Amino acid sequence: MEKRGPPESKVGNVIATMLFVVIVATFSYMFFFSGGSSSSQTPTVYTPDEIELHIQAQEFVKQGLKAPSTAKFPVLPYDTSADGNGLYKVDSYVDSQNSFGAMIRSDWTVLMRLSGETWTLERMAIGGKAVYDPVQAQKNLEKQQATQAEIDRLTSEIDQQLEYGRSLAQ
């Protein structure tokens, strides 16, 4: 005679096997649809290399030249640096025609910011002269507005004096 175990034993084995399959299937599904990576990982921050920085800075420099089509840049810049928060500085030179048509070499520095996929010019100097500086531009605008306000005040005062002179003459 064959010995058989109680039928509850077979039922327990079937339930345990089915539970194991469901757990494995659930974890496989979660792994597959999560792309195989943990959602707690921080996204990789893009960092441009020296050549990309130089090329982007060249585009800004061309905008500040008298004859941008004549611009000749070196293959690599003098120096590039980053502050770790998306602000990059590039130092190099350009050979280009000046207002008189003569080819001259000018050192330049560009300070630019990368936000997402967009580059923004922060400051630019060519040949030691600030070509773009929003802080200085704002100061110049404020000075120009103050000068215009003083001109308007003086003009109004002169007009009042003329009116007073005309009223006395009548």
Cβ contact 155:88 at 8 Å: no
pLDDT tens, residue by residue, 61-118: 999 999 999 999 999 999 999 998 889 999 999 999 999 999 999 999 999 999 888 9
Beta-strand (E) ranges in the chain?
79-82, 87-97, 103-115, 118-126, 129-132
Listed by start position, the domains of the chain span 1-41, 50-132
d(CA 133, CA 170): 55
CATH of 50-132, one of 3.30.70, 2.40.50, 3.10.450, 1.10.238: 3.10.450
| pTM of this prediction exceeds 0.75 | no
In one letter, which amino acid is 133?
A: D
The single-letter DSSP state of residue 72 is B
